[in-house]
Amino acid sequence: MAEKKSRQPSDDGKKRQVTLRDIAKELDISHVTVSLALRDHPRISEATRAKVKKKAEEMGYHPDPMLSALSHYRLTSKEKPVQATLAWLNPLKNPEKLRQFEEFDLYWKGAESVANKLGFQLEEFTTQELSLKRMNTIFKTRSIRGILLVPLGWNTTPVNWDDMPWKDYAAVRFGRSRQGPKLNFVTSAQASNTVLAFEKAEEKGYKRIGFIGNSSRRRMFSAGYLRAQQAVPKNRQLSMLMYESNDTEWDHALHRDALERWLEKEKPDAIITANVILPSLLEELGYSVPGDIGIATTSITDTPINAGIDQNPEEIGRATVRALVALVNEHHFGIPEIRNQTLVEGVWVDGSMLPDRT
């Protein structure tokens, strides 16, 4: 590793750069140990890391920005041979079901492609097979410093998240679930995607565009719908029909009746939703799709609705690994004081369930 320097007085009165060897000499350790300690390498004890960082600060050591830029260029300018592992942490009760969903399988594919390009391999670890304490031991032994936490919120095994010493790892999660540690996360731009869906429905000639969605606080689709409605006259602003996040049997009598009342009151000619059984439920109530009501989905992946938003799940996977590798390279470990969220925009996809009506 090239030595990083900052300015210190020399014997002739001029200032010179402080090197890693200068720090090593002061502490009577090797310059390799100093380099590893400044990069928070797990091979170096916490006590030694703290001692090296304190001495570096006292001596006025700072990384040389030109050398840092050169190092970054070397890391990113071409595809590297696999040299380290990133952990894909899956705490679901049935972990194999995660990638049976096309959306989450595309998360993996996008994440794996960027990981390989940057010199990492992506490996799955499940809490069905290993406790977090056991994972931590394995990660330390194998020098795994980066963790991807899969989407949470459904069928998650009971996990004591404090069993993982997050201060020793860079970690990024998919989605904004309230479960688990409060890490930086990457997710779809749900609000702006819903605005896009609303605007596309308007362009196709629909005048009364409704919304049916999940009431979970971690979902931002309804926020986008409310924002889009502000741009239309009040006589075209419809109330939303929301259902609880744990309502998996949405076709029972209570919800069928609620849907029927809402349809009679609001009289939508189009509906934006992510509910997978809405098309069949509308037909059960005697409505033709798309003859009477057009439908657009907030995510065309894993739904029977063919018009709506492609959330670009593969790009979400790629963006998550980029964010994680940046944290690893910058030695930003632990749960952040201020979370960063990266939102990936979706694109509109035309489909037969929302034909033109102009």
* pLDDT given for residue 253 in this prediction: 57
- CB-based contacts of 90: which residues, under 8 Å, 6+ apart? 98, 124, 125, 126, 127, 150
Domain boundaries, the chain: 1-59, 84-189+315-347, 190-311
Distance, in Å, from the CA atom of 71 to the CA atom of 330, rounded to the nearest integer, reads 12
Structure tokens at 90: 């899956």
Work out the angle between the directed axes of helices 221-229 and 190-203 (0-180°, nearest 10): 40
Domain 1-59 in CATH 1.10.260.40? The answer is: yes
What is the SS3 assignment for 91?
coil
* pLDDT given for residue 59 in this prediction: 85
Distance, in Å, from the CA atom of 98 to the CA atom of 92, rounded to the nearest integer, reads 8
Say whether the peptide bond before residue 81 is cis (omega within 30 degrees of 0).
no
Q: What is the CATH number of domain 84-189+315-347?
A: 3.40.50.2300
Fold match between domain 1-59 and domain 84-189+315-347? no
* pLDDT given for residue 16 in this prediction: 66
* pLDDT given for residue 72 in this prediction: 54
Looking at the chain, which runs of residues are DSSP E strands? Answer: 7-9, 15-17, 84-90, 120-126, 146-149, 170-174, 184-188, 209-214, 241-243, 270-273, 294-297, 308-310, 341-344, 347-349
Distance, in Å, from the CA atom of 121 to the CA atom of 79, rounded to the nearest integer, reads 12
> Of 57, 61, 75, 49, which Cα lies nearest the Cα of 4?
61
Residues in the chain: 358
> pLDDT tens per residue, the chain (358 residues)?
444 444 455 445 555 678 888 888 888 888 778 888 887 777 788 888 888 888 888 888 876 655 555 555 555 555 555 568 999 999 988 888 888 889 999 999 999 999 999 999 999 999 989 999 999 999 999 999 999 999 886 667 788 999 999 999 999 999 988 888 999 999 999 999 999 999 999 999 999 999 999 888 888 999 999 999 999 999 999 999 998 755 444 445 557 888 999 999 999 999 999 888 899 889 999 999 999 999 999 999 989 999 999 999 999 999 999 999 999 998 999 999 999 999 999 999 999 999 999 7
Q: What is the CATH number of domain 190-311?
A: 3.40.50.2300
* pLDDT given for residue 1 in this prediction: 42
Distance, in Å, from the CA atom of 104 to the CA atom of 172, rounded to the nearest integer, reads 15
* pLDDT given for residue 63 in this prediction: 66
* pLDDT given for residue 4 in this prediction: 43
- CB-based contacts of 277: which residues, under 8 Å, 6+ apart? 250, 251
